Amino acid sequence: MAGAKTRRQAAAEKEEQEAAAQLLNGNGAAAAAPVARRNDGNTDEEEDDDDEEAAENIFLFYPNLIGYSRIVLAIASLYYMPIHPRTCSALYTVSCLLDALDGYAARAYNQSTRFGAVLDMVTDRCSTSCLLVFLASAFPRWAIVFQLLISLDLASHYMHMYASLALGGSDNSHKNVDKSRSMILNLYYTNKTVLFATCALNEACFLGIYLLSFSSPLLSPSLLQQVPASAAAAIHQGAQVNSSLLSMIFPNPYSAGALELARANKMDSFWPWVLAGVSFPVMALKQIINVVQLVKASRWLAEGDVRARRDARRAAKAKAL
């Protein structure tokens, strides 16, 4: 009887334990399942979060997709630059305007990334540099001015970005400029209206100068080759010209047909002069900001070097003692 009673007591205790497990877990069968999932140190919910993060593709974020479209439009504008000023200006303008849209998309969808910030800056610098390269060729007497503008633009932004990352920390944005360091840079980078207006009018001035190369008889692009006398004679004699739909859509920018197309697309100089004249003061201001940015970044890097050298000397003295 004592042995049977012991077995009944053991069975009752087992039933009480199973009932308690059901109350705690809501399902007795589920009690052992989390243990198996926790063998790798993560719960099932944490594993789902890890899978979501692993599947996230930065390159396909909406702001970055807008950035890729800017690159395509910029390349298309460069193709039409020597032959079709209206098409080039339209493509270049849309590419520049999308620069503001990607920022709104990044904030709206919480997709701000360092890759996107660098992509945006690199696209801006390359587009402006390519336009200035054309202007240097279209206006050879002013080539050194456009070359200096390219150098100043690239140098100032590179040094500012490098100083921000090296001394401000890897998580610091190049747009985080304290007022104590520079009032003008703080206003330029933190006020979105000022930033957009300055950059837009800076590009508008260069576009106005570009359009002048197609509007004034004294200012003509020098990239287009003159038609050789032999080729001109053959054309006058009725030589057959091989053409295709592809060549009509994408003409050779150095061909005789492209030269005639460029001449046919000449425009009145009034609006290009207005565009260049109105935006010129802001363009000049943008160059001043670039100079300030270059000087401030140089000083910031020098201050960091002074601190690093001082710390190194102190460490060497402490080690010697």
Number of folded domains in the chain?
1
Does residue 245 lie in a domain region?
A: no
CATH number at residue 292: 1.20.120
What's the pLDDT tens digit per position in 186-198? 999 989 899 999 9
The CA distance from 81 to 90, in Å, is: 11
Phi, psi of 182 (to 5 degrees): -165, 120
- CA distances to 96, 226, 233, 235, 239 from 229, rounded to whole Å, are 41, 9, 6, 10, 14
User: Average pLDDT for residues 74-101, to the nearest whole number?
Assistant: 92
The CA distance from 186 to 172, in Å, is: 14
Does residue 246 lie in a domain region?
A: no
Distance of CA 200 to the CA centre of its chain: 15
Does residue 13 lie in a domain region?
A: no
Catalytic residue among 102, 120, 124, 153: 124
Q: How many CB atoms lie within 10 A of CB 178?
A: 11
pLDDT value at residue 221: 45
Query: What residue type is 228 in one-letter code?
Result: P
What's the pLDDT tens digit per position in 146-183? 999 999 999 999 999 999 888 877 677 788 888 888 89
pLDDT value at residue 272: 92
pLDDT(236) > 90: no
Does residue 262 lie in a domain region?
A: yes
The CA distance from 56 to 59, in Å, is: 9
Span between the terminal Cα atoms of the chain, in Å: 85
User: Average pLDDT for residues 19-42, to the nearest whole number?
Assistant: 47
Structural domain boundaries enclosing 137? 57-222+256-312
Does residue 129 lie in a domain region?
A: yes
Does residue 115 lie in a domain region?
A: yes
Does residue 151 lie in a domain region?
A: yes
51 classed as catalytic: no
Does residue 250 lie in a domain region?
A: no
